[in-house]
Chains A and B, each alone.
Chain A
């Protein structure tokens, strides 16, 4: 089995196409994390508003 040398052959990120809806994957990840933060904020509001 061919050896992967991490010092010479780091993770290749460059050549995969961008995701749909966004220009880059970083924007996509940011969107997912932002959505998650909004969901937590909504949960917090629910906890406070109805307790």
Chain B
């Protein structure tokens, strides 16, 4: 990487951090520290909400996902605008009326202290583990690309985030996120423009869209209802609404963003801004992946995108095998490139028969290419059985490092680091706020000075930062860790959402019923999860079925269980 890229990357990152620290230098009360003076306009709230959700993995993995499977992932976000409208109508007015610091505080006014504490603890458990992953996951890829040690990368991201989050609290998080989001959106738009400009002569934007469409990559919307298909219109609109209601309505890392608004109006506009912009932004990120796919249809891509994995083969007996596979890929790529040009000619001539034949030939060539890539993965696993051979997360960053001009490489790396920092800072800030407001000040150390709680908030931000760092540096010791954290999230999210849904809509239900329902609901969810992983067969009629519930469904089941149990238990308690 050139010195100019280093200057741009570090200058952008440190400039944003310095701006955030300077803007929040006069913070002196716990309210300012945790609610950021509540003076933020809607666009800062909207960008901050988007930056919290968009982690670095969004910008590393999503283009790779489009490169491999097309645009269908955009449907995952279809429920988000509906969830935003729901929150604006039913949730925000209550939080504003009660002037709460945390979402869980509301549960005490609606139910009781034990329900508030229980949901806060569920949040701390789930988000505390996730914070480590938010640092660890992009650090693996960035350390490979930059040639830094994994722990160096983890500490670089973690310490910078801890520094400015501790210094300026919520306001520092929000003002830095506004700048970070501007860098992120600007960087991705620049990247898209440059990819189009770097396409070979005769291939422009329109040709790129035509080619990717005919090769099945522009499959954005699929209306077919299919439970086994993870991304279709219905899963996005039904499952997505529940997922985003729980994430934006009951996860303090998001709630804290919009509670720092100047007024209810500004917070509502911020959420609606997110509702309008999120789907197009995700479309843009996926579309960048599609453009990279078209680019690599004309410029030969590496046989495996993770260079660190290929280096594992150097000096081993498998080197000769790799060279042989590479020798097979070279003519295959040339044939594929010619066929893609042929497809384009057929598209321009509007020759449907020729288009179809060309699509079939390219599809067959892609299959051969896939086989070669699979063989390379096999070689890597022979050299290192513990190696992670899935390389789609490296597609976009490989393009950035090898084909973007000097200057833009630094900007795009700043995009990825900014995304990692913005989501981590929100998490640490929310964890510290919930710890201080829901546990420490409420139940452990009461009636102390404002200064004491300000210092406690800073201390807990550091403590959660250290826990996240410790988790991140030891993460590679655990197998399937990221999936494990996602599962842990699904084990708690549904129950937390259920408690909030009861609070908002089941007005007869009181604290005792909802608290017991949350406990019973959580036990039921843990049992379902255990049964799903224990090869248990159940008999329905004359047939036997393997009991298996995918963990994403636990959100929905947990929520409905708590709502139903609360209603039943309330009837019992009234008697």
Contacts and interface: CB of A to CB of B under 8 A. Distances in A.
Interface in B486-505: 503-504
A32 B210 contact: no
A43 B109 contact: no
Contacts of A10: 507
Contact of A1 (B109, B210, B272): B109
Given A6-B503, A13-B89, A29-B88, 5 more contacts: A6-B507, A12-B97, A32-B81, A36-B81, A43-B74
A13 B74 contact: no
B268 A25 contact: yes
Interface string B350-388: 000000000000000000000000000000000000000
B216 interface: yes
A32 B85 contact: yes
A39 B279 contact: yes
A46 B210 CA distance: 10
Contacts of A47: 218-222
Interface string B214-255: 101011111100000000010000000000000000000000
B110 A17 contact: no
Given A6-B110, A40-B221, A33 B85 contact: yes
Contacts of B265: 16-17, 19
A32 B265 CA distance: 15
Contact of B221 (A2, A20, A29, A44): A44
A25 B88 contact: yes
A44 B276 contact: no
Given A4-B109, A28-B272, A47-B220, A16 B507 contact: no
A17 B264 CA distance: 9
Interface string B449-461: 0000000000000
B210 A50 contact: yes
Given A29-B85, A47-B218, A51-B213, A35 B109 contact: no
Contacts of A35: 81, 276
Contacts of B279: 36, 39
Q: Which of B82, B85, B88 has the most CB of A within 10 A?
A: B85
Interface of B: 74, 78, 81-82, 84-85, 88-90, 93-94, 97-98, 106, 108-110, 209-210, 212-214, 216, 218-223, 233, 263-265, 268-269, 272, 275-276, 279-280, 283, 503-504, 507-508
Interface string A1-35: 11110110011110011011000010011001101
| 9 shortest interchain CB distances as A-B pairs | A50-B213, A43-B220, A6-B507, A4-B109, A36-B81, A44-B221, A29-B85, A50-B218, A43-B221
B507 to A, nearest CB: 4
Nearest to A17: B265
A34 to B, nearest CB: 10
Contacts of A33: 81-82, 85
Nearest to B78: A40
Q: Which of B90, B210, B219, B503 has the most CB of A within 10 A?
A: B219
Contact of B84 (A4, A16, A32, A44): A32
A44 to B, nearest CB: 4
Nearest to B283: A43
B275 A36 contact: yes
A11 to B, nearest CB: 5
11 contacts: A1-B109, A3-B109, A4-B106, A16-B264, A17-B265, A25-B89, A32-B81, A32-B272, A49-B213, A50-B212, A51-B213
A4 B105 CA distance: 12
Contacts of B93: 11-13, 16
A50 B84 contact: no
A46 B89 CA distance: 32
A47 to B, nearest CB: 5
Contacts of A12: 93, 97
A38 to B, nearest CB: 11
Nearest to A30: B85
Contacts of B222: 47
B89 to A, nearest CB: 7
Nearest to A28: B272
Contacts of B504: 11
Nearest to B511: A3
Contacts of A13: 89, 93
Nearest to A14: B93
Q: Which of A2, A7, A25 has the most CB of B within 10 A?
A: A25
A43 to B, nearest CB: 4
B218 A46 contact: yes
Contacts of B212: 50
B85 A11 contact: no
Contact of A51 (B108, B216, B263, B508): B216
A39 to B, nearest CB: 6
A32 B270 CA distance: 12
A36 B526 CA distance: 36
A17 B275 CA distance: 21
A49 B268 CA distance: 36
A35 B74 CA distance: 16
